[in-house]
Amino acid sequence: MKVIERPEPINGEIILDATETIMSKTNPKGIIEYANDYFMEISGYEEFELIGQPHNVIRHPDMPKVIFKWLWQRLKDKKNMHAVVKNLAKDGRFYWVITDFEVKLDDKEEITSFIARRKAPPKETIKNISSLYKKLLSIEQVAGVDVAEKYFIGFLEEKKMTYDEYIEDICLIENKKSLDMKELQYYKRKGLFVRMFK
């Protein structure tokens, strides 16, 4: 199958409906096997264009490669994860998502597929992550992905957080402000997507 060409990015944002979820399913190599109607609506592609394509066809060039390096390592280690991602629509516009990745295994514990659910992240989350991504991308362009990864590790070490903790911190900042300690303890026991989009 011929891989579709990515469009040239333009300076226009697609604002997501906060009540809708973008869903997709890929095989273990990241080839799209299913995408829901909202995915098609936001990305601007038709099913016949996307199904069978690598998922990175919607990757925006503003995204640092090191984030996807970490993402794929986690998924290959059979660990679910969350990520904040800037995607590229067919018309060149962009849209931000907070993505919840789920690894599907067969009865032999082999990976069969990855399910991704995406929602609109809070504005504050986009502001925080954009700043980090610009730094990582600049480092990648000058010194490569490995050097950007070392910077990223240092960034997380300084914050005394794992990647997951950092994503949760920037995604839930508004929700945390209104919770008392008892609510916060209950809140932390729930998954990130449940806590953000109950």
Helix (H, G, I), strand (E, B) or coil at 39: helix
Predicted model pTM: 0.84
User: Which pLDDT score, from 0 to 100, does residue 70 have?
Assistant: 92
pLDDT tens for each residue of 118-158: 999 989 899 999 999 999 999 999 999 999 999 999 999 99
- Could you report the per-residue pLDDT of 179-194, keeping only the tens digit for each? 444 444 444 445 555 5
157/51 Cα distance (integer angstroms): 39
Sheet of strand 32-35: strand arrangement: 32-35, 22-26, 111-119, 94-105, 81-88
Residue 105's beta-bridge partner residues? 111
Instruction: Using DSSP, state whether 158 is helix, strand or coil.
Output: helix
Token pair of 195 as six digits? 């806590």
Q: Nearest 5°: CA angle at 63, between 58 and 65?
A: 100
pLDDT per residue as tens digits for the range 32-77? 999 999 999 999 999 999 999 999 999 999 999 999 999 999 999 9
**For domain 22-193, which CATH number applies: 3.30.1490.20, 3.10.105.10, 3.30.390.50, 3.30.450.20?**
3.30.450.20
pLDDT confidence of residue 179: 40
Helix or strand (DSSP H, E) at 129: helix 123-143
